[in-house]
Structure 1
Amino acid sequence: MQVVHRGFDTIALSIQANISQELFDLLSSERDRAEEERHSVPFSYGGADFDLLPHGGNGYRFILKGGPLDVTWFFKKPNARDPWGIRVSVGSTLLATQGLGYARSYIDKTLTRLGIRFESHQVSISRADFCVDILAPEFELVPENFVIHSHTNRADYLTAQDDIRSNGKSGQFTSVTVGKMPGRQVIIYDKRREVIDKKKPIWWDIWNANLERYDLPPLDSSDPSSSRVWRVEVRAGKDLLKDRWQIRTWPQFDAMFGDVIAEALKKIRYCKPDLDDGNRARWSNHEIWDLVVGSSDDDLLEMRSHIDATSVKHVHRAEQIRLISTQIAGLGITLAALEDTQESELGNYMDSVGGKLAENIRADPERAANKLHEAKNRYRFIS
């Protein structure tokens, strides 16, 4: 077994501030356009670039995304009676490649560009997920091997032994979740399967970058027998952070979050069953759990894979090109079938499709130019 990544996976926080009336008016105008066109539209303000979604949600009027680094911004309509008008959710890509320190700086700089001022005590952290990825091709997940100590009670935001959800595929368990949000959850799941199923190729680069630091060979993504990666993830929701640990601000988070993780991994354990001992609390940790505990003992705040933002964009662009090329080929073959093309004629037919597309562009160059401009805007973060 080998640790191939460790770090934060999600950070969510609220800001006790509101956007300006000027920014609200601009966002309202652009959201109307997004609703009319039924897709996200590019939005820039103060040197910050976003994609503005055509809808809001969860009480927020505007939702904006900041490109492939996976940061989402939520803004309410300015209201003096509701001062907590901003929410920020930082996803795994930015945290894994750039680190938490970069994410915090990025949030502060972006809000400054938007003209939003706030003090450190006006930040309220509502969720933080920490994960450890372990290369363990031969590991088999057994839900019954989880041990939750009997003295645990509701004040610890842990649930009863029967609150364990399991998912399996092909006769094997691929994930087990213990606990509930917004309290505490501990999860083990097959991260390799998720990366493939949800098309997240950047994780192969993250894992391989970390393996390279230990002079270990890269993973062969096509071979599950040598590239199976399991993730152990601790999710701390607002009830756990605020009610039990009194963690709201960044200084409190810096001082105590390591203890939050240590307690979670002590109170919820994945163990090696001892058939001679009926007291599950005395079972020893499985090797994979000891690796996770050891990986979370030191400073958690600046872990990253040292992949730069340009590399992240390159991977996203390459994946989009691959997906769209596959779609084009599939549509061309479907069109050939509808026009009763024979297999021996398929190559020539596809050449002719390219000619027909060129004719369409020449027939209406203005429309084609507008479509090209729209596509460039849609993919501007990775182009």
Structure 2
Amino acid sequence: MQYQNHQFDQNSTSQKPLNQTYTVLGEFEPPARSASADGRSEVAQCGEVSATVDAPLSLAKTSEGTPPSNTVPLNYNPKTFKALRYGIDSLYVSYPGVIAEDWDIKLNNLKEQAQSEDETQQALAQVVIGQHIFEVKDKGKGRFSYVLVDNSFYLQASNGKSKALPMAYVQISSEYLAHVGVEQAEKSLQFIVNTLGLVHEPANVSRGDLFVDFCADLTMDSFDPLQSWITRTQSIDLHYRYNKFSGWSFGMGGEIGARLYDKTLEVEKKSRKFYLHDFWKAEGWDGQQTVWRMEFEAKREVLKQLGIYKISNLLELQSALWLYLTQDWLRLAIPSPTDSNQTRWLNHPLWDDITQVFNSDKEQQKLKRFSSARVPEDERLFVHGLGGITSFMAREGIEDLGEGIGEYLHQAKDFHEKRSQIHGAGMDEYVTKKVKSKNRRFNSINNRQDDFSD
């Protein structure tokens, strides 16, 4: 795999003030600053996007977009733009509160089991809350003592001695959001967190990722990084994967970050989220054209300054937030050879299309099938999983699959029979131990269902 990265520094004089765009929704006292995933103030983590701390106090809900440009580049036909899907892709929330004493003890015991050298004990490091079978990790994360994981949530919980941290800090997976939506996902999460302890107030939004997936007949690496992109960040990067251009990134690591990248390539090579293909095809994707994703991640500190504290704020103001991100924080412009003032440069027509996507009230399709279990996909099981058997057949000179599987099991049983004289466990015991270990890792079966000590 080939990877290249090119970084460019933007001249900070191109940044324009934030406080001229949006008005205050209402007067209220913002809540106390929350902690981030590793327990540090989110302001302390702010990297290159220092200008974002001057953001307005809140966003005005508006449907106005940037006026369309009247000069269309010769290499782009705006009629080829097609928005395939948009919304909130990933969500991080925190819950101020205190973990219950019995849950503190229970999670600590499960964490110690996960640290055991005995694989049988490790397999018992699970906890069931509602419909979720969580794997309990052997280590905490940052200043959080406990980590509980399944396909819906990545939950970090503090112990009973912690006073400064929220009780829980949780990432809601993009796949679960695609299945039930933001409100239902957070409602399910509320039940889990309320089970663990006393929650003092509704969830604070610590980070929200907004996105649009689209097709457009345009070469995405044709823009001049120092002219075409007008942004508040000092960092612009081009990325290459698998011998092709894969995208741009802007200000990653700061309070706001953005990416424009080849989503078809990312699905094929990395995330394997092939369910997105069905969403795209329902909106007219031909299965061949490159789908690009424009994605912004906005963290706690800047969200607070924009008036977004709770889930309800985010849902109400997501369109206004998108406009702020695509008008004030980053935009793609048509450089003017006769005007050095970048603020007067017209938007590239592609950017006008991207900016206006969230103005639509069209309901997004939901993922029909979803499981909180993190089970491996069929290709891993039935392609890669056959590797051991095919290697055995080649070694033994066997070409018939049925004969090969039968002989494989026969010799495997003999091997484990001899091995048991040293390790004390035959093939059946070995397989049972491995299945239970994977039950925990895949969230598929509760290994503790016969353990009455819970």
- TM-score by length of structure 1 reads 0.78
Q: Secondary structure at the match of 2:144?
A: coil
Count of residue pairs the alignment pairs up: 351
TM superposition shift of 1:56: 0.7
> 1:201-225: per-residue Cα shift (whole Å, max 9, x none)?
3xx323423532x4x3x654xxxxx
Q: Which residue number corresponds to residue 34 of structure 2?
A: none
Structure 1 Cα separation of the partners of residues 312 and 385 of structure 2: 51
Aligned-pair CA distance for 1:271 = 3.5
Per-residue deviation, 1:22: 0.3
In structure 2, the partner of 1:22 is 102
Q: What is the CA-CA distance between 1:27 and the residue it aligns to?
A: 0.6
**Alignment counterpart, residue 328 of structure 1, candidates 374, 378, 385:** 385
- Amino acid of the structure 1 residue aligned with 2:379: R
Question: Are the equivalent residues in 2 in contact too, given 1:4–1:210 (CA < 8 A)?
Answer: yes
Provide the C-alpha distance between the structure 2 equivalents of 1:105 and 1:209, rounded to a whole number of angstroms: 24
Task: Please state how far the C-alpha of 1:79 moved relative to its aligned partner.
Answer: 2.8
Q: CA deviation at 1:228?
A: 1.5
For residue 109 of structure 2, give the secondary structure of its aligned residue in structure 1: helix
Find 2:438's aligned residue among 371, 375, 380.
375
Partner of 1:155: none
Distance 1:269 1:13, change over 3 A: same
Q: Secondary structure at the match of 2:245?
A: strand
Does the 8 Å contact 1:313/1:382 carry over to 2?
Answer: no
Higher RCO, 1 vs 2 (CA within 8 Å, ≥6 residues apart)? 2
Partner Cα distance (1:13, 1:75) in 2: 12
1:56 matched to 2:140? The reply is: yes
The one-letter code sitting in structure 2 at the alignment partner of 1:179 is: G
Contact 1:99 1:304 in 2 (8 A): no
User: Unpaired runs of 5+ in structure 1?
Assistant: 153-157, 221-225
Query: Is residue 115 of structure 2 the alignment partner of residue 35 of structure 1?
Result: yes
Alignment partner of 1:291 is 2:353? yes
Q: Distance in 2 between the 1:293 and 1:82 partners?
A: 39
Sort the Cα spacing of 1:141 and 1:374 in 2 relative to 1 into closer, same or farther, 3 A: same
Equivalent AA in structure 2 for residue 113 of structure 1: T
2:267 maps to 195
* Residue in structure 1 matched with residue 45 of structure 2 by the alignment: none
What is the TM-score when the length of structure 2 is the normalising length? 0.67
Per-residue displacement from partner, 1:180-210 (whole Å, max 9, x unpaired)? 4342122101111111111423xx3234235
Judging changes above 3 Å, is the alpha-carbon distance between structure 1 residues 47 and 178 closer, same or farther for their aligned structure 2 residues?
closer
3-state SS of the aligned residue for 1:285?
Answer: coil
CA distance, structure 1, for counterparts of residue 341 and residue 98 of structure 2: 54
Classify 1:199/1:181 alpha carbon distance in 2 versus 1 (closer, same or farther; 3 Å): closer
**Correspondence for 1:184 among 236, 253, 256:** 256
Match of 1:118 in 2: 200
> Out of 149, 156, 163, which is 1:74 matched to?
156
- CA spacing shift, 1:314–1:18, aligned 2, 3 Å: closer
Partner residue of 2:174 out of 92, 117, 131: 92
Superposed displacement of residue 230, structure 1: 0.6
Q: Which amino acid aligns with 1:96?
A: A
Q: CA deviation at 1:361?
A: 8.0
Counterparts of 1:78-157 in structure 2 under 5 Å? Answer: 78-79=160-161, 81-82=163-164, 84-120=166-202, 123-136=203-216, 139-144=219-224, 147-149=228-230
| Distance of 1:207 and 1:271 partners within structure 2 | 30
Distance 2:428 2:444 in 1: 25
> Shift in Å at residue 173 of structure 1?
2.7
Alignment of 1:3-14 (within 5 A): 3-14=83-94
Write the letter of the residue equivalent to 2:249: T
Deviation at 1:32, TM superposition (A): 0.7
Partners of 1:289 and 1:186 in 2: how far apart?
Answer: 14
Aligned to 2:301: 239
* Percent identity (aligned): 18
Rounded Cα–Cα distance in structure 2 between residues aligned with 1:315 and 1:76: 24
Aligned-partner SS, 2:187:
helix
Instruction: Tell whether 2:206 aligns with 1:206.
Output: no
Cα shift at 1:316: 6.6
How far apart are the structure 2 equivalents of 1:321 and 1:68? 17
Q: Which has the larger radius of gyration?
A: 2
CA gap 1:42/1:68 in 2 versus in 1, 3 angstroms: same
Change (3 A) 1:84 1:113: closer
Q: How does 1:334-353 map to 2 (within 5 A)?
A: 334-335=391-392, 339=395, 341=396, 345=399, 349=404, 352-353=407-408
Deviations along 1:229-257, whole A, 9 cap, x unmatched?
11000111123112x32432334434444
* Aligned-pair CA distance for 1:263: 1.2
Distance 1:47 1:112, change over 3 A: farther
Q: Name the aligned partner's letter for residue 60 of structure 1.
A: F
- Per-residue deviation, residues 299-333 of structure 1 (Å, max 9, x unmatched): 6xx9643113xx2339975x533202223322334
User: Aligned partner of 1:134: which letter?
Assistant: F
Counterpart Cα distance in 2 of 1:5 and 1:240: 25
Q: What amino acid does structure 1 have at the position aligned with 2:233?
A: T
Q: Is the 8 A contact 2:374 2:443 kept in 1?
A: no
- TM-fit CA distance, 1:227: 3.7
Q: Distance in 1 between matches of 2:218 and 2:199?
A: 51
Alpha-carbon RMSD across the aligned residues, in angstroms, is: 3.4
The answer (yes or no) to whether the contact 1:35–1:54 under 8 Å persists in 2 is yes
